[in-house]
């Protein structure tokens, strides 16, 4: 569980508590799903008591049935258990990667927006070079250098999202910086740092947390992609991308092996997006 999600969750709850704010169908569904995913990530045993790694060769390749709701894989492992237990990987990777991207983005964006033309020019050209590569390619490059694994995949995804955040933060910063209240603070005799910390950053970052919620969904998809390519979580781990990759071989005979992990990747990304948009809308109206 990252701070980010807690904040997003709290923000969503406190906003929803208002009497005039009705929830739409999509928002309610997203809320229920988010709860399910959170429980899966924190206490997976509650929802799936079975062992996700328990092998049972006799019941391999079973299609969805009463005993195995999502079916079993080539070693007879219960896919439902694996999907539920895999939630923590995806959520943690998604949240941590977004946090890394956001942190770097804030740093770069603030440097560019606050430290004058030379720094702004340099940071901007650097960001443009990064933008020239598709994000995933950037992540691949990083993994090629530092070797595959969950940690490197997380950092790689974080790094590849940073330029986007940096650009948005810089633009937002420049808008906020030229607003009248910043000038008013100068007239009151505040120093540059006081103004940056008390006025500019809070007003820049508030809208960004909404964007970050949207970003978590994106990061989860990317992390799953890396695992699918065999560059993230290693096969026995019940990570969704890795499960997809394993199921690919049997996709014609055992569709459930790739369908359910894929479904959860999509559902998680959509949930994060719907919640992000909903928070965004509510903040705009607040």
Partner 1 sequence: MNGSVVFGDSAAAVTVRNLRVGFGSAEPVVRGVSFAVAPGECLAIVGESGSGKSVTARSLLGLAGTNARVSADRLELGGQSVLGLAGRAWQARRGKDVGLVLQDALVSLDPLRPIGREIADSLRLHTTLGAAGRARRVLELLDAVGLPEPELQVRKLSGQLSGGERQRALIAAAIALNPPLLIADEPTTALDVTVQAQILALLEQITGAGTAVLLISHDLAVVSRVAHRVAVMYDGQLVETGRTPEVLGSPQQEQTRRMVAAIPGDKPRGTRLSPSDGPDTPSGLTATGDSRAEVSPESTVVLEAIGLSKSFRRQDGTRQLAVDDVSFALHRGSTLGIVGESGSGKTTTARLLLALLAPDHGEVRVFGEPWSTTSEKTRRGLRASVGAIYQDALGSFDPRWSVAEILTDALHLRHERGAPHTTARLTSLLDEVGLAPTVLPRRPLELSGGQRQRVGIARALAGRPEILICDEPVSSLDVTVQAQVLDLLDDVQRERGLSLIFISHDLGVVQHVSDHIAIMRDGRIVEMGPAERVFAAPQHPYSAQLLAAVPRLRA
Applying CB under 8 A, which residues contact partner 1?
179-181, 183-189, 191, 198-199, 202-203, 206
**Which are the contacts of 1, defined by CB distance < 8 A and separation ≥ 6?**
38, 41, 42, 91, 95
Q: Which C-beta is closer to partner 1: that of 19 or that of 189?
A: 189
Q: Judged by CB, which is closer to partner 1: 145, or 180? A: 180
Q: Which residues pair with 78 in a beta bridge?
A: 72
Distance separating alpha carbons of residues 219 and 102, to the nearest angstrom: 12
Minimum gap (Å) between residue 105 Cβ and partner 1: 21
**Rounded to whole angstroms, how far apart are CA atoms 128 and 123?**
9
Between CA 100 and CA 137 the distance in angstroms is 18
Closest approach, Cβ 199 to partner 1, in A, equals: 5
CB 203 to partner 1: min, Å:
7
Q: Of the two residues 21 and 126, which places its CB atom closer to partner 1 in the complex?
A: 21
Nearer to partner 1, 201 or 263 (CB): 201
The whole-angstrom separation of Cα 9 and Cα 95 is 13
Using only the alpha carbons of the chain, give its radius of gyration: 22
- Kindly state the smallest distance separating residue 115's Cβ from partner 1, in Å: 16
């Amino acid at each position: 569980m990252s701070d980010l999600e807690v904040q997003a969750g709290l923000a969503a709850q406190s906003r929803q508590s208002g009497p005039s704010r009705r929830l739409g169908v999509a928002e309610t569904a997203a809320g229920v799903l988010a709860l399910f995913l959170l429980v899966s990530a924190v206490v997976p045993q509650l929802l799936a008591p079975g062992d996700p790694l328990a092998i049972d060769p006799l019941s391999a390749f079973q299609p969805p049935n009463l005993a195995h709701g999502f079916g079993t894989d080539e070693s007879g492992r219960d896919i439902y258990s694996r999907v539920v237990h895999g939630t923590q990987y995806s959520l943690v990777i998604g949240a941590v990667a977004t946090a890394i991207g956001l942190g770097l983005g804030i740093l770069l964006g603030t440097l560019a927006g606050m430290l004058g033309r030379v720094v702004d020019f340099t940071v901007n050209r650097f960001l443009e070079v990064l933008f020239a590569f598709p994000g995933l390619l950037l992540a691949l490059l990083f993994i090629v250098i530092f070797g595959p694994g969950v940690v490197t995949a997380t950092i790689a995804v974080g790094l590849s999202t940073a330029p986007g955040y940096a650009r948005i933060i810089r633009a937002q910063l420049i808008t906020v910086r030229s607003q009248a209240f910043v000038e008013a603070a100068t007239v009151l005799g505040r120093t540059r740092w006081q103004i940056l910390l008390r006025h500019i950053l809070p007003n820049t970052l508030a809208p960004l947390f909404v964007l970050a919620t949207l970003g978590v969904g994106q990061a989860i998809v990317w992390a799953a992609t890396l695992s699918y390519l065999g560059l993230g979580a290693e096969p026995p781990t019940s990570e969704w991308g890795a499960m997809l990759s394993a199921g690919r071989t049997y996709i014609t005979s055992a569709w459930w092996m790739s369908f359910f992990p894929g479904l959860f990747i999509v559902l998680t990304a959509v949930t994060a997006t719907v919640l992000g948009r909903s928070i965004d809308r509510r903040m705009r109206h607040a």
